[in-house]
Amino acid sequence: MKRLFDLDNPVMRALGKLYDLMIANVLFLVCSLPVVTFGASLAGMTKVTQDIVRETGSGPAKAFFRSFRSNFRQATVLWLILAAFFVCTIFDMILIDTYLAGTVAQMLRALLVMFAVVVVAVACYMFPLLVRYDNTLIAHCRNALILAGAKLPRTVCLVALTLLPAALAYFSLASFLRISLLFSIIGFSGLNYLCSLLLRPVMAQLEKDQAPAEEQNAQA
């Protein structure tokens, strides 16, 4: 019985992770309400899930708000750019459906969808890079684009997880509404946690590659 409540017990550790994910999910939803703060909220949630994966950090709320504040400017700029892009994409889709038909319309729609998926793929790497490393947005974008292409199978999984709520709402709104309570409790942070798990070996490889370069610079 005593062992059951031991903090190092696998069950207690799993419950601890669930608790942290629920806290991160609630903070993400509440702090995203002004809409313009969505990017900073996503950065905060990503920091929490990265800490859970790495088994580091001093608590979900503290990690969330520290990342929210420190990454607010870059995350907000990135979010506004992404939001503007997707608004323009939706507007272009409406124009295509209104004024075009046949093969030309299908080709243009396919091109827009492909371009949107590429943007989502790059964003899947940009927010984790932004949270983890100090760099300019342009540098983050370049690195994210390289990683998205170099880690293509992993990128496909990241995009699928990221688009799952939107795809579910689009193809089966009734099913999405049935599990909406789950998303309000742990759904978004849970998906973000899976993305952080997928990115763990990528980040480990990046940091391993950076270490020799830093040692060479120190010796020089």
Give residue-wise pLDDT tens across range 107-121: 999 999 999 999 999
Estimate the crossing angle of helix 38-54 against helix 188-219, to 10 degrees.
70
What is the identity of the amino acid at 79? W
**pLDDT given at position 14:** 85
Residue 219 lies in a domain: no
Please name the residues in contact with 11: beta carbons below 8 A apart, sequence gap of 6 or more. 4
**pLDDT given at position 210:** 66
**pLDDT given at position 176:** 81
CA distance 102 to 49: 45
Residue 96 lies in a domain: yes
CA distance 124 to 122: 5
**pLDDT given at position 41:** 98
Residue 184 lies in a domain: yes
CA distance 58 to 69: 16
Residue 220 lies in a domain: no
Q: Is the pLDDT confidence value at 204 over 60?
A: yes
Average pLDDT of the residues in 16-36: 95
Range of lowest pLDDT (6-10, 51-55, 117-121) = 6-10
What is the percent of the chain with per-residue pLDDT over 70, rounded to a whole number? 91
Range of lowest pLDDT (85-89, 165-169, 189-193, 214-218) = 214-218
User: Tokens representing 103?
Assistant: 């093969």
The sign one gets for the Cα dihedral 36, 23, 192, 29 is: negative
CA distance 34 to 30: 9
Q: Is the pLDDT confidence value at 8 over 70?
A: no
**pLDDT given at position 214:** 45
Residue 68 lies in a domain: yes
Report the number of distinct structural domains present in the chain. Answer: 1
Nearest Cα residue to 170 out of 111, 108, 93, 98: 93
Residue 55 lies in a domain: yes
Q: Is the pLDDT confidence value at 56 over 90?
A: no
Residue 158 lies in a domain: yes
Report the 10 Å Cβ neighbour count for 29.
17
Structural domain boundaries enclosing 52:
3-213
**Strand, coil or helix: what is 55?**
coil
Nearest Cα residue to 89 out of 112, 105, 120, 68: 112
Residue 218 lies in a domain: no
